Amino acid sequence: METILITGANRGVGFALVKQYVQAGDVKIFATARTPENATELNALAEQHDGVITVVQLDINDEASIDASVKAVEGETDSLDILINNAGIFPKGDDKSNSLGNLTAEDVGHVVTTNSVSPLIVSQAYRHLLKKGNNPRLVMISSQMGSLSLGGSGSYAYRMSKASMNMAAKTLSVDSDMAGVTVVTTHPGWVQTDMGGSNAAITPTESATGLKTVIDGLTSDDNGKFYRWDGSEHAW
């Protein structure tokens, strides 16, 4: 049986990943949500699959919430095989972290914190469980917008946050404290979610199916790599 923790699992790519793993079977999933009482679809799925999915409260920007989530997970398992840092934000509309002329340190900082600092702190908090896992894998759901070689204009905060997330993954992959854990970063595709919008290229199911195939196939040879949802390697 595989033991998996997915952050931001109440909607979008995170929820689609939960559904893929449940469908595959022989799993125990810790599906985290910032506000579990509002996670209607996730709670319904957890009820349908009693004992397979545990919904855990986790706001990745709140260290007390991270600590409480670790305690809740420790109450049910002493190891994790897969940790998926999926929770993230993309500033929309008039958010001041997007365009030059409107940037404030506070707005940019919030995006960078949410998309890269917090996933690193979550990884740190769960590493003792991950290190006891079977073929342990730490997966960052990042973005092609964090690729330095691809570049692109605008969306300063988001691009910076995902480049930073990628560097966190790369650094974790060579940390002796993480020995034995395969760490990768990924681009999930342009996905039809609240974040990606309805014109996006692929459905959450297509993204999650691809990501699960990538994650299933990970071995220590993949440590420190950057993959697309379709299994191809992404340029840094």
Ligand X SMILES: NC(=O)c1ccc[n+]([C@@H]2O[C@H](COP(=O)([O-])OP(=O)(O)OC[C@H]3O[C@@H](n4cnc5c(N)ncnc54)[C@H](OP(=O)(O)O)[C@@H]3O)[C@@H](O)[C@H]2O)c1
Is 46 an interacting residue with respect to ligand X (CB under 6 A)? no
Helices (H), the chain: 12-24, 40-48, 63-74, 105-112, 118-130, 156-173, 204-216
CA atoms of 164 and 16, how far apart (whole Å): 25
CB atoms within 10 A of CB 35: 9
Exactly one of 99, 167, 190, 206 binds ligand X (CB under 6 A); that residue is: 190
Shortest-Cβ-distance residue relative to ligand X? 12
Chain residues 132-171 in contact with ligand X, contact rule CB under 6 A? 141, 143
Q: Which is nearer to ligand X, 178 or 202 (CB)?
A: 202
Q: Which is nearer to ligand X, 67 or 78 (CB)?
A: 67
Chain residues 200-229 in contact with ligand X, contact rule CB under 6 A? 200
Q: Check the CA dihedral 114-68-174-20 and report its sign.
A: negative
Looking from the CA of 178 toward its CB, the CA atoms found within 13 Å total 25
Is 8 an interacting residue with respect to ligand X (CB under 6 A)? yes
Would you report the helix, strand and coil content of the chain in percent, each value rounded to 5?
45, 15, 40
CB of 17 to ligand X, least distance (A): 9
Exactly one of 35, 176, 198, 219 binds ligand X (CB under 6 A); that residue is: 35
Is 196 an interacting residue with respect to ligand X (CB under 6 A)? yes
Q: Which residues bind ligand X (CB under 6 A)?
A: 7-8, 10-14, 34-35, 58-61, 86-90, 114, 141, 143, 188, 190-191, 193-196, 200
